[in-house]
Amino acid sequence: MKKIIFFLFLIPILSFGQNKNIGAESIANLKASYVDRPFVQEYHEGYSVDENSEDANNVRAIKPALDGTIWIATKNGVYRKSSNSKEWSLGVIGEDQGPAYDVEIDRDQNVWMATWNGVYRYRDGNVEKMEGPKPPLSKIVSTNEGVYAMGPYGIWLFKDKNWLKKEYKTARSIRTALSDNNGGLWIGTDVGLYHCNDEGTKVYQANNDLISAYIRGMDFDQEGNLWVGGLGGVSIRNQTTKIGEKRPKDGITNSNVNTVAKAPDGRMWVGSQYGITRFVKGEEAYSVRVGRRWLVSDEVRDIAFDKNGNAWIATSNGVSAIKQRQMTLAEKADYFYDQLIRRHVREPWIIARSKLVTPGDTTTIEAEDDDNDGEFTSNYLAMESFRYATTKDPEAKDRAKKAFNFLHLLREVTGDDGFFARTIIPVSWNQSHDMNRTYTARELAEEIIENPRQKPVEKRWHVSKDGKWKWKGDTSSDEISGHLFGYYCYYNLVADDNEKQRVADHFSKIMDHLIRNDFNLVDVDGTHTKWGVWSPNILNHDPDWSPERALNSLELLAFLKFTYYVTKKEKYQKEYLKLIREKGYLENAKMLHNTNPSWETYFDIFLSLYMYPTLINYEDDPDLNREYHDHLNQWFNKHKEAKSPLVNFTYNLLTRGSDELDNSIDFLRDAPLDLVDWYIDNAKREDLKVVRQPILEELQTELRPPSEYRTTRWDQNPYLAVSGDPAQEKEPVYWLLPYWMGRYLNLIKAE
């Protein structure tokens, strides 16, 4: 069971409804904090045994030695890897090298190998063939009484330097074997489970003995119960009878179980044709490792553990190691921050995901543009703002200003006084997303029939007047919404008087542009962009814009409220109140959490999140403030099931609480260190059901921990059944932003 330490403390309750400042001195009424202590962080290392040999990567068994050497049996023979190397060496057996089926290490650290032509032992740097057992041999088991070798022609025990053939009556299809620690063996075959000792042999094949008689792997749990894996799942037996099962409904990812192993921490690892499931005694919850983030191949053949508790996994296409390291959240933040600055910053301080020229290969990283560079740099701006407010580190302040400068440039680069670009790239770049194009009449007809609101933009990229940049138009509502959140955090937590004036001048120009254009974002072609629409004439009267009415109404109210607060110019407050009193924008916004199911998209959660700090903290009217608080509470109660720390900490920022703190910490700890957007296919998992919720238009499964779904960006649905693009590496702002919010709120306390 996870252990999360909370620190309880009392703080005097301060007035909040009229409080404009979100400085640290204003945080009040906090109920609990997580004390940052070391936890186990898992990460993956994958190995190709021999890129030129398919048989070498067909790994059947694996065993770590105490000196760190890893031994494997493959279709091509026995290989080993020293602890300080990534290379695998062949040739231990010499000219007789051929298909191998098992490796075992005895109590003296001698290595035993079951192969196509006999049993070999590696001892003191020398290998010898152990004549006696008739090949081929499929399994080797080291026990208190000696070493067993077994295969289709019998079972032999090596004891006192001699082989003794055991007259056990078992099926010849021996797939797995295990000492009973009392002079006997448990043997799994294609046709049943056998218990063998000198007193006789007993077979278990009945339906009440096992899920099925087709056995592939087994091990004892901490209680001494035998977990027997095979076709259908895992049967759990005590000394006499079956006492439990693990099937897909209990967490097994695939009904074809190939191996079972008890980890040093007591968890039971079950490897199948599609990934690994880990079970903890007494808990219904389980964890899964599947996909290239964790495994070089999803077909798991064998699992063993080294002296440090790391799992070594034999798969059908190489070797995986799921390793452990002790980390605190602060250390994890340092790791992610280093990755962010070294790998995800491009001029002039754009924070973005990066392209992997060879999918999954992090050494082939290149910078790439993204439609939402502005929005996600704004998330970074918010993160640095919380980092500065928490630590007063001048580096955070300097980098926050760099991020704001880029967002400021997005408006300046267009040459228009208020319109701003999605992103910019150097003029020297020849490739970008959404290259300029033309539409034929037929193509245009197709576009318009598909979506009557479609705006077929032929020229998306424009050259700046200074000739340095290409800037991308057709800017969306997502962009200005994300910008607002970044500006709000920067203005309140970092900016000095000069920077506050820059924020005010910058955003008021954008707002003036919207007002001049009936609250639409108008591109250089003189028409509104595809998504940049907040006009009452459109939102309230055009039926095709009904899906955006609630959210866009909330957004425009927040834009105007922020502009009024930072400029103190009454014209913005006048427009704000007119929208509420005459255009019904507050009533529109109230429908957001009860909208038509077909209109819901996952990202709307976070577009709403961007609005709440401004509306909650800048609204003086108590009645309106109460309305926004009600809206916030509905939002949180509807979406807290997503277990997003950004949702939770934003809510706590505005309510001075500690709601969902345990789920937030679980997320921050479980999130993987690997930032490659690995392809994840949870639809293949037999433990999960594919559904159409919470978003009707997408195939989804129940929410799993972040280590089991695609690399996160908050605009993407974590419930998706199939997702991921290993040709990109995501920026870790998704993790760093809520972490620093938690630190700022004192919900995460340094040790």
pLDDT in tens, 566-584: 999 999 999 999 999 999 9
* Whether pLDDT at 281 is above 50: yes
pLDDT in tens, 12-29: 332 333 344 444 434 444
Number of Cβ within a 10 Å radius of residue 279: 22
Residue of 560, 566, 503 whose CA lies nearest to 534: 560
Read off the DSSP letter of residue 358: S
Evaluate whether 529 touches 419 at the Cβ level (below 8 Å).
no
* CA–CA gap between residue 511 and residue 371 (Å, rounded): 21
Query: pLDDT band at residue 95, thresholds of 50, 70 and 90?
Result: confident
- What pLDDT sits at residue 23? 42
- What pLDDT sits at residue 654? 98
Query: pLDDT band at residue 750, thresholds of 50, 70 and 90?
Result: confident
Token pair for residue 88? 């695998």
Query: pLDDT band at residue 705, thresholds of 50, 70 and 90?
Result: very high
Q: List Cα–Cα distances, 341 to 70, 113, 738, in angstroms.
A: 35, 48, 18
pLDDT in tens, 324-371: 999 999 999 999 999 999 999 999 999 999 999 999 999 999 999 999
Q: Which of the residue ranges 317-331, 447-461, 607-621 would you say has the lowest mean pLDDT?
A: 447-461
Residue of 183, 148, 184 whose CA lies nearest to 164: 148
- What pLDDT sits at residue 61? 98
Interval 225-242 mean pLDDT: 96
Domain ranges for the chain, please list them: 534-642, 680-722
- What pLDDT sits at residue 453? 85
- What pLDDT sits at residue 282? 87
pLDDT in tens, 645-662: 999 999 999 999 999 999
Q: What is the DSSP string of 279-332?
A: E-TT-S-EEEE-STTT-SSS-EEEEEE-TTS-EEEEETTEEEEEEEEEE-HHHH
Number of Cβ within a 10 Å radius of residue 293: 24
- What pLDDT sits at residue 343? 98
Q: Tell me the pTM.
A: 0.94
Top-confidence residue, 447 or 674: 674
Query: pLDDT band at residue 416, thresholds of 50, 70 and 90?
Result: confident
* CA–CA gap between residue 324 and residue 59 (Å, rounded): 23
Give the chain's mean pLDDT: 94
- What pLDDT sits at residue 2? 45
- What pLDDT sits at residue 3? 43
Helix or strand or coil: residue 392?
coil
pLDDT in tens, 155-164: 999 999 999 9
- What pLDDT sits at residue 635? 98
Block residue for tokens 């918010």? 382
User: Residue 452 burial by CB count (10 A; 0-12/13-18/19+): exposed, middle or buried?
Assistant: exposed
pLDDT in tens, 581-597: 999 999 999 999 999 99
Cα 376–Cα 382–Cα 387 angle in degrees, nearest 5: 130
Q: List Cα–Cα distances, 162 to 47, 116, 533, in angstroms.
A: 37, 21, 85
- What pLDDT sits at residue 31? 61
Top-confidence residue, 455 or 202: 202
- What pLDDT sits at residue 451? 86
Per residue, the 3-state secondary structure of 36-87, as one string, reads CCCEEEEEEEEECCCCCCCCCCCEEEEEECCCCCEEEEECCEEEEECCCCCC
pLDDT in tens, 186-228: 999 999 999 999 999 999 999 999 999 999 999 999 999 999 9
Interval 116-137 mean pLDDT: 96
Evaluate whether 472 touches 422 at the Cβ level (below 8 Å).
yes
* Whether pLDDT at 8 is above 60: no
* Whether pLDDT at 254 is above 70: yes
Percent of the chain with pLDDT over 70: 96
- What pLDDT sits at residue 12? 31
pLDDT in tens, 30-42: 468 999 999 999 9
* Whether pLDDT at 5 is above 80: no
* CA–CA gap between residue 527 and residue 525 (Å, rounded): 6
* Whether pLDDT at 273 is above 80: yes
